[in-house]
Structure 1
């Protein structure tokens, strides 16, 4: 077996299951899960109908590159959403559909890391999506964690990274809006990272899966390709973005997303994926076209999350140290104590599941930046989110 498998840590939800197994929850209270970032809003009916209408195409092998119509729909969406200059994003060269971004994020690292270079590093935020770490380890690289704390508005302090670390860096993961903090990187910071990538010759992989869940319709979060365009960098050199229909369109089970950016990187990643055997089924591709072409359901989705954030934060008030995030659907409260104890006792007393923040982070430079926080995903229906907030207030008030 690959010895690097032994470096993988248990997934956060394995740790959470063990934590909950040590206590019993009250049977008279219904369980409310705020731990998993799985959207619970209804998928758009027209997408499901499109999927159903094309099930006969399961009789055909799909191409790894995806059908031209899907790549064009993705390129059109990116161009409009991120204000890219017209026709600079070529669907033949810059876009690659993938079976959800989790699979693509992992595979991308395997294709990028050059094992022949000494001590390769993959830099990533801390807390982080655990795929970043596992992918780095199995690619033969060392993950290097960049702490995201309240002192820096939950963004990495890139000025604290040494020149040697940048020189060893082959891949920088960023997540904007962030999971779990919801912090958004502005265009100025993104452009700074692009200049650092040029200087030290590394790739930037921007995980933007939460980019469509924001609160101000007139001020959507910027993206990495948008920062490139703002610089007049129409080749998107060294920059790659990951997007998905899971959160945007409430279609996590469709497993549909895309990777876009630097044409040379996309070309080599396509080469890798041709051997990987991961083409998206044709019915899913056609349904994805319908989803990417429609914004009305996305606006309705944002409105539903806005209602939940408004209601929950109004109830929590000053009972919990929590703030509205820049974007996304998570709350990241400071529980003023041990996050594991908070999560375990909350489950035992109120039958509510939240995720301890330390499970989403690693010890780095003397701290675990997730410690003392819990992640709450406001994915349940509005009534359940309100009930959960009321129970949490009862819990912290006793």
Structure 2
């Protein structure tokens, strides 16, 4: 067996299940799950109908590169959404559809890391999506964690990274809007990273899966390709972005997303994926085209989340140390104590499941930046979110 498998830590939800198993929940209260970031809003009906109308295409092998119409729809969406130069993205060279970004994030690291280089580093935010860490370890690289804490608005302090660490860096993961903090990096911050990538010759992989869940319709979160365009960098050199229909369109089960950016990197990633055998089924591709071409359902989705955030934050105001995030669908409260104890007691007394923050982070520079926080995913229906908020107020008041 690959010995690096022994370096992988249990997934956060395995740790959570063990934590919950040690107690019994209140039997007089219905369970409310705020732990898993799985959208619960209804998928767009027109996407489902398109999927049903094309099921006969399951008789055909799909191409790894996807159908041209899907790559074209993705390119046009990126240009509209991130104000890119018209036709600056070549669907043939800059875009690849993927079976959800989870598998793509993992596969990308395997394709990128040069094991012949001494002690390669994969840098990522801390807390983080655990795929970054596992992918780095199985690619023969060392994960290097950059703490995201309140004093830096939950954005990594890249100024504290030493030159020798940048020199070892082959890949930098960023997540904007962040999971779990919801913090958004500015275009100026992204441009500084692009300059660092040029200076030290590494690739930036920007996980932007929460980019369409925001609160100000006039100021959507910027993206890495947008920062490139603002620099006049229309080849997107050393920059790659990951997007998905899971959160944007409430289609986590469709397993549909894309990777886009630097054409040279994408060509090599396509070569890897051809051997990897990750081709999206044709009915899913055709359904995805309809989703990327429509914004009305995305706007309605945002409004539903905005309503939940407004209601929940009004109830929690003054009772829990929590602020509205920049974007995303998570709250990241400071519980002023042990997050594991808080989550376990909340489950036992109020039958609410939240995720301890320390399960999403690693000890780095003497601290675990997730400790003392919990992650609350406002994915349940509005009425359940309101009930949960009221129960949490009752819990903390005791």
Q: Which residue of 2 aligns with 1:124?
A: 124
SS at match of 1:174: strand
Post-superposition, which runs of at least 4 consecutive aligned residues in structure 1 deviate over 6 A?
none
Q: Name the CA distance, whole Å, in 2 between partners of 1:18 and 1:361.
A: 17
Q: Name the CA distance, whole Å, in 2 between partners of 1:370 and 1:112.
A: 28
The correspondence of residues 154-173 of structure 1 with structure 2, limited to 5 A, is 154-173=154-173
The correspondence of residues 179-328 of structure 1 with structure 2, limited to 5 A, is 179-328=179-328
SS at match of 2:347: helix
SS at match of 2:375: strand
Q: How much has 1:26 moved relative to structure 2?
A: 1.0
Q: Which residue of 1 aligns with 2:15?
A: 15
C-alpha deviations, 1:242-272, integer Å up to 9, x for none?
0000000000000000000000000000000
C-alpha deviations, 1:208-264, integer Å up to 9, x for none?
000000000010000000000000000000000000000000000000000000000
Q: Which residue of 1 aligns with 2:382?
A: 382
Q: Name the CA distance, whole Å, in 1 between partners of 2:96 and 2:199.
A: 27
SS at match of 1:191: helix
Q: How much has 1:14 moved relative to structure 2?
A: 0.1
Q: Which residue of 2 aligns with 1:330?
A: 330
Q: How much has 1:372 moved relative to structure 2?
A: 0.0
* Residue 74 of structure 1 pairs with residue 56 of structure 2: no
Q: Which residue of 2 aligns with 1:50?
A: 50
Q: Which residue of 2 aligns with 1:93?
A: 93
Q: Which residue of 2 aligns with 1:3?
A: 3
Q: Which residue of 1 aligns with 2:341?
A: 341
In the alignment of these two chains, the number of paired residues is 398
C-alpha deviations, 1:76-133, integer Å up to 9, x for none?
0000000000111100000000000000000000000000000000000000000000
SS at match of 1:394: helix
Q: Name the CA distance, whole Å, in 2 between partners of 1:73 and 1:305.
A: 26
Normalized against structure 2, the TM-score is what?
1.00
Q: Name the CA distance, whole Å, in 2 between partners of 1:234 and 1:152.
A: 30
SS at match of 2:215: coil
Q: How much has 1:155 moved relative to structure 2?
A: 0.3
Q: How much has 1:183 moved relative to structure 2?
A: 0.2
SS at match of 1:97: strand
Q: Name the CA distance, whole Å, in 1 between partners of 2:331 and 2:200.
A: 35
Q: How much has 1:36 moved relative to structure 2?
A: 0.1
Q: Which residue of 2 aligns with 1:151?
A: 151
Q: Which runs of 5+ in 1 are unaligned?
A: none
Q: Name the CA distance, whole Å, in 1 between partners of 2:29 and 2:53.
A: 41
Q: Name the CA distance, whole Å, in 1 between partners of 2:334 and 2:317.
A: 13
RMSD across aligned positions (CA): 0.2
C-alpha deviations, 1:271-304, integer Å up to 9, x for none?
0000000100000000000000000000000000
Q: How much has 1:27 moved relative to structure 2?
A: 1.4
SS at match of 1:324: coil
Q: How much has 1:200 moved relative to structure 2?
A: 0.1
Q: Which residue of 2 aligns with 1:135?
A: 135
Q: Name the CA distance, whole Å, in 2 between partners of 1:76 and 1:87.
A: 8
Q: How much has 1:44 moved relative to structure 2?
A: 0.2
Q: Which runs of 5+ in 2 are unaligned?
A: none
Q: Which residue of 2 aligns with 1:391?
A: 391
Q: Name the CA distance, whole Å, in 2 between partners of 1:160 and 1:362.
A: 18
Q: Name the CA distance, whole Å, in 2 between partners of 1:67 and 1:28.
A: 52
